[in-house]
RNA sequence: GCCAGAGUGGCGGAAUCGGCAGACGCGCCAGAUUCAAAAUCUGGUGAGCAUCACGCUCGUGAGGGUUCGAGUCCCUCCUCUGGCACCA
């Protein structure tokens, strides 16, 4: 087990310091699922009848115990301690250890028939509680996850026959077993507040349990639920349902003994939001957040509750019974004690095996035999003359991906993970440029080590959370300098392709599908088309080999970047590839004479306009590349290149810059052009620095701005680039078309945004 | 059901802060070149109306709102994609 839960809070708080997409952060926060609330102890009444007063007194003097002191105490976790007065029953998960202990021999007198078990396969007749509970627990354990999901609609469960005491009002409440409570979360037991929890409400309706309200909802909710529920009833005719006080009275008196307003309103839908506490002596009238604190504090003083935090996140079972995984460097001696292998015995490598399947047996009680158990020789190691048995489980699938990026730092080092100076060089990044500091300092360093991590969103919660946890452990142990592994995360989209299903809904090989008359056919049968992530499961994968051999690697690469934004999924459509292929060819022809192979580059300076265009391109492309906007960067290069087609010879300053900008996108052709340009015959373009835009060339002397009248562009004016609002207004009102448009109209207002536009409001 | 993301021409997509919707590419149409074709080059290409070179109206999934001005901000709804599944 890896105690990732011990890092839960840090895994949440450090998210704020990472440059990650917000949706991924949200998914991680939800996955960790931190919830604040309280643990509360309930005394289960023994069949003989313990005196609860005695227990309350003992608790008052002993205080809150770390674990319940006896088997008749049920500890629950709740995020809503303020609803304790509304707890009308309790539920234990079927796997809860107390279930078998609290069940009495016979049903208590007056047990409603509905409580004696509601679930498929319930034993017939009036079965005693123990047999009924056993039957329910066995059935719950036999249910697969899929079955549990299918049955989410109907709540099932059984009354255990036992009661507990509600610590706030000492009311006796029944204890049920139901599989809607999970053993794996919280304490595996809950207090049920049907008026203010959706699931408890469903269960209460099913089992005919009381649903007393203890939180007053806001007026909107009352109007939507209470007023709507009663307005058709004849009894409501005399009531003013628009009056908030009437609605509150209806809601507050629902289900109170003898006060159901003649059954006019009873709660059928839980209100699970915050409101004002009602029918709750110790916290009456308090808003939810204050009520929570008050009641928890009050119970804490009496040793009955304690503030608590719970996580949805589970600890990481770091072991699999599979062959393909990293073997553990652990052996066991004769007494079964685990021993770490000595460094000289490392690395442990997987044995060559013919058969990777786990060993099976007919004996249901036999221990499982993982695949490595078949490697009988490998499984035994002799150390200091004594035989040891190897650990036969392997590490789980995310183990390697948690640290591979660290190994890349110093891959040939066979003594360390990575040399500390190498690790610092790559992983420590100062926030504001400059030299890397000696050690991590949150004030000056980025929290994450890897500058940019590009990966699919499917890793949002597993790989990316485990890797963060692993890195933090290594950081705490002093092996890595930064607290986080990946500073900036970018989720690329999926490449999608058409996939086809036959009449059974089964995917057919996409490459065998033909289109005819707008319909799709595979082997003579019509198939249905859909779009999905390209891959094996949808049988729609296309290898890029053919494109690569037809158009070359540069075109393939460029096309993949040009298809659209990196983070968006997009269909693979080979029809569009010729576009970028033509671009590369046109670029080549602009710089090299096709017939002679001679360079068409001149040392003459570029014209003013061309130079401006170049620097505008450099500026735009730089920004696009920074934002990973490869598609728009390429569009700008195409635009510049298109301007060169009409020239007899391309000025060297333009050619060189264009080729440099192209290099990261289409490296082969850029390298070839670079060598032809003769800019340093020995060097590769890879060592050139990226072109820089001259800011003075980005400013135009004059600009054209639109003039809008009645929200439409009616004319354009040319003004100095730095013209102020007054100058723009003057120029706009003088423009002939504007004057024509304004004839007979009154100008109410003129809005001028310098450098952008003029908007004339007429009335 | 819950969480997240996305809906823009025939297609992929562009639009940095609320300021000219449709950059760039594909496709399509026309022209040049050619004996012809491919390739290449030039021009055009959201829809409708028009006294088809002035111009007008509509238009970013639907409906409302804020604003001088909305693809962009707010509310309601629809569709699609991905993730989660009774988490007390």
End residue of a domain, out of A184, A207, A230: A207
Q: Cα(A655)–Cα(A643) distance, rounded to whole angstroms?
A: 12
A253 shares a domain with A175 = no
- Distance of A632 CA from B22 C1′ (whole Å): 15
The answer to whether A71 touches A101, Cβ cutoff 8 Å, is yes
Q: Is A704 helix (H, G, I), strand (E, B) or coil?
A: strand
A451 shares a domain with A369 = no
Quick check: is A406 in a domain? yes
Q: What's the burial of A292, exposed, middle or buried (CB within 10 Å: 0-12/13-18/19+)?
A: buried
Question: A190-219 b/e with 16+ CB inside 10 Å = b?
Answer: bbbbbbbbebbbbbbbebebbbbbbbbbee
- Distance of A462 CA from B14 C1′ (whole Å): 35
End residue of a domain, out of A226, A252, A270: A270
A712 touches strand B (CB under 7 A): yes
A171 shares a domain with A46 = yes
Nearest nt to the A636 alpha carbon by C1':
B24
Q: How many CA atoms lie within 13 A of A98 on its CB side?
A: 31
A149 touches strand B (CB under 7 A): yes
Q: Cα(A565)–Cα(A560) distance, rounded to whole angstroms?
A: 10
Quick check: is A186 in a domain? yes
Q: Cα(A580)–Cα(A384) distance, rounded to whole angstroms?
A: 66
Quick check: is A316 in a domain? no
CA A396 vs CA A145, A320, A346, A486: distances in Å: 21, 5, 20, 21
E strands, A96-255, where?
Answer: 158-165, 172-177, 189-192, 215-216
The answer to whether A175 touches A162, Cβ cutoff 8 Å, is yes
Q: Which is it for strands A276-277 and A215-216: parallel, antiparallel or unpaired?
A: antiparallel
Nearest to A323 by CA among A378, A389, A256, A267: A378
Length of chain A (residues): 763
Element (H, E) at A613: helix A608-626
Nearest nt to the A310 alpha carbon by C1':
B87
pLDDT at A711: 75
- Distance of A542 CA from B85 C1′ (whole Å): 34
Tell me which residue has tokens 């100076």: A421
pLDDT at A479: 94
CATH code: domain of residue A17 = 3.40.50.620
- Distance of A189 CA from B80 C1′ (whole Å): 40
Q: Is A108 helix (H, G, I), strand (E, B) or coil?
A: coil
pLDDT at A468: 93
DSSP A465-516: HHHHHHHHHHHHTTSSSSSEEEEEEEEPPPEEEEEEE-TTS-EE-GGGEEEE
pLDDT at A278: 93
pLDDT at A147: 57
Quick check: is A104 in a domain? yes
CA A361 vs CA A306, A367, A370, A547: distances in Å: 48, 9, 12, 51
A:651-710 Cβ neighbours of strand B under 7 Å: 704-706, 708, 710
A517 shares a domain with A482 = no
A581 shares a domain with A538 = no
Quick check: is A197 in a domain? yes
Name the residue range of residue A530's domain: 495-542
Nucleotides of B under 7 A from a protein CB: 3-6, 11-16, 19-21, 23-27, 39-42, 55-57, 68-70, 81-88
Torsion of CA A99, A101, A107, A108, to 10 degrees: -110
Q: Could you count the other beta carbons within 10 Å of the beta carbon of residue A12?
A: 17
A:563-582 Cβ neighbours of strand B under 7 Å: 563-565, 568-571, 573, 575-576, 578-580, 582
A233 shares a domain with A155 = no
Quick check: is A226 in a domain? yes
CATH code: domain of residue A131 = 3.90.740.10
CATH code: domain of residue A644 = 1.10.730.10
Element (H, E) at A715: strand A712-720
Looking at the structure of chain A, the number of domains it has is 7
A427 shares a domain with A520 = no
Q: Cα(A466)–Cα(A461) distance, rounded to whole angstroms?
A: 8
Q: Is A8 helix (H, G, I), strand (E, B) or coil?
A: helix
pLDDT at A517: 59
A77 touches strand B (CB under 7 A): yes
Tell me which residue has tokens 């204050």: A290
Helices (H) and strands (E) in chain A, counts: 24, 27
A202 shares a domain with A69 = yes
Quick check: is A565 in a domain? no
Quick check: is A234 in a domain? yes
A735 touches strand B (CB under 7 A): no
A641 shares a domain with A514 = no
The answer to whether A41 touches A318, Cβ cutoff 8 Å, is no
Token pair belonging to A632: 């728009």
Q: Cα(A86)–Cα(A291) distance, rounded to whole angstroms?
A: 13
Nearest to A515 by CA among A497, A500, A503: A500
A628 touches strand B (CB under 7 A): no
> Which residues in chain A come in under a pLDDT of 50?
255-258, 260
E strands, A368-432, where?
Answer: 380-383, 386-390
pLDDT tens column, A476-533 = 999 999 999 999 888 888 787 777 777 776 777 777 777 665 567 777 777 776 667 7
Token pair belonging to A486: 């990946």
Nearest nt to the A187 alpha carbon by C1':
B88
A518 shares a domain with A604 = no
pLDDT at A518: 58
End residue of a domain, out of A667, A697, A727: A697
A649 shares a domain with A753 = no
A197 shares a domain with A53 = yes
A:458-477 Cβ neighbours of strand B under 7 Å: 458, 460-461
A:487-526 Cβ neighbours of strand B under 7 Å: none
Q: What's the burial of A385, exposed, middle or buried (CB within 10 Å: 0-12/13-18/19+)?
A: exposed
């Amino acid at each position: 087990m890896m105690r990732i839960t011990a890092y839960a809070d840090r895994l949440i708080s450090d998210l704020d310091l990472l440059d990650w997409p917000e949706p991924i952060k949200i998914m991680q926060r939800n996955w960790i699922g931190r919830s604040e609330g309280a643990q509360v102890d309930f005394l289960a009444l023994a069949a003989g009848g313990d005196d609860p007063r005695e227990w309350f007194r003992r608790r008052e003097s002993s205080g809150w115990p770390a674990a319940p002191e006896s088997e008749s105490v049920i500890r629950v976790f709740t995020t809503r301690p303020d609803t304790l007065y509304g707890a009308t029953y309790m539920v234990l998960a079927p796997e809860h250890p107390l279930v078998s202990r609290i069940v009495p021999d016979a049903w208590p007198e007056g047990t409603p028939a509905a409580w004696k078990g509601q679930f498929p396969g319930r034993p017939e007749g009036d079965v005693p509680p123990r047999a009924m509970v056993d039957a329910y627990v066995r059935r719950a354990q036999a249910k697969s996850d899929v079955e549990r999901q299918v049955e989410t609609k109907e709540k099932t469960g059984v009354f255990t026959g036992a009661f507990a005491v509600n610590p706030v009002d000492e009311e006796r409440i029944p204890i049920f077993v139901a599989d809607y409570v999970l053993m794996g979360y919280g304490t595996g037991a809950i207090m049920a507040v049907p008026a203010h929890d959706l699931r408890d409400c469903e269960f209460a309706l099913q089992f005919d349990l009381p649903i007393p309200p203890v939180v007053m909802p806001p007026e909107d909710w009352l109007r939507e639920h209470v007023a709507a529920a009663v307005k058709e009833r004849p009894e409501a005719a005399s009531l003013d349902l628009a009056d908030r006080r009437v609605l509150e009275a209806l809601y507050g008196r629902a289900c109170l003994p003898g006060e159901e307003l003649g059954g006019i309103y009873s709660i059928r839908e839980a209100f699970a939001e915050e409101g004002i506490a009602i029918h709750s002596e110790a916290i009456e009238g308090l808003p939810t957040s204050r009520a929570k604190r008050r009641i928890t504090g009050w119970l804490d003083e009496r040793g009955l509750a304690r503030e608590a935090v719970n996580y949805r996140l589970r600890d990481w079972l770091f072991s699999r019974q599979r062959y393909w995984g990293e073997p553990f460097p652990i052996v066991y001696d004769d007494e079964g004690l685990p021993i770490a292998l000595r460094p000289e015995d490392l690395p442990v490598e997987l044995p060559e095996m013919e058969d990777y399947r786990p060993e099976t047996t007919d004996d249901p009680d036999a221990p499982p035999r993982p695949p490595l158990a078949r490697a009988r020789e490998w499984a035994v190691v002799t150390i200091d003359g004594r035989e040891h048995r190897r650990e036969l489980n392997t590490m789980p699938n995310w183990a390697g991906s948690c640290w591979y990026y660290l190994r890349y730092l110093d891959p040939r080092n066979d003594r360390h993970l990575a040399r500390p100076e190498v690790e610092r060089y790559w992983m420590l990044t100062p926030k504001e440029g400059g030299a890397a500091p000696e050690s991590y300092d949150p004030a000056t360093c980025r929290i994450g080590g890897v500058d940019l991590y590009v990966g699919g969103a499917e890793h949002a919660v597993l790989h990316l959370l485990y890797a963060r946890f692993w890195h933090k452990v290594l950081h705490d142990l002093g092996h890595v300098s930064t607290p986080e592994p990946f500073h900036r995360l970018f989720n690329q989209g999926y490449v999608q392709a058409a996939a086809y299903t036959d009449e059974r809904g089964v995917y057919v090989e996409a490459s065998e599908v033909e289109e005819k008359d707008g319909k799709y056919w595979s082997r003579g049968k019509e198939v249905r088309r859909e779009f999905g992530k390209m891959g094996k499961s949808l049988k729609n994968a296309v290898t890029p080999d053919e494109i690569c051999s037809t158009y070359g690697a540069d075109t393939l690469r460029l096309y993949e970047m040009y298809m659209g934004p990196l983070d968006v999924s997009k269909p693979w459509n080979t029809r569009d590839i010729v576009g970028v292929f033509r671009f590369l060819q046109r670029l080549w022809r602009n710089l090299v004479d096709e017939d002679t192979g001679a360079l068409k580059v001149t040392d003459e300076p570029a014209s003013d306009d061309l130079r401006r265009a170049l620097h505008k391109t450099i500026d735009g492309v730089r920004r696009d590349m920074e934002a990973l906007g490869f598609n728009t960067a390429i569009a700008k290069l195409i635009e510049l290149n298109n301007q060169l087609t009409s020239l007899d010879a391309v000025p060297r300053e333009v050619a060189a810059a264009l080729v440099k900008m192209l290099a990261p996108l289409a490296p082969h052709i850029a390298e070839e052009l670079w060598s032809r340009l003769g800019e340093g015959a020995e060097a590769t373009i890879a060592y050139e620095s990226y072109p820089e835009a001259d800011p003075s060339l980005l400013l135009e002397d004059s600009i054209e701005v639109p003039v809008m009248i009645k929200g439409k562009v009616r004319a354009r004016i040319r003004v100095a680039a730095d013209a102020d609002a007054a100058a723009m207004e003057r120029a706009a009102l003088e423009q002939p078309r504007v004057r024509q448009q304004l004839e007979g109209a009154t100008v109410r207002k003129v809005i001028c945004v310098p450098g952008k536009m003029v908007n004339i409001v007429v009335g």
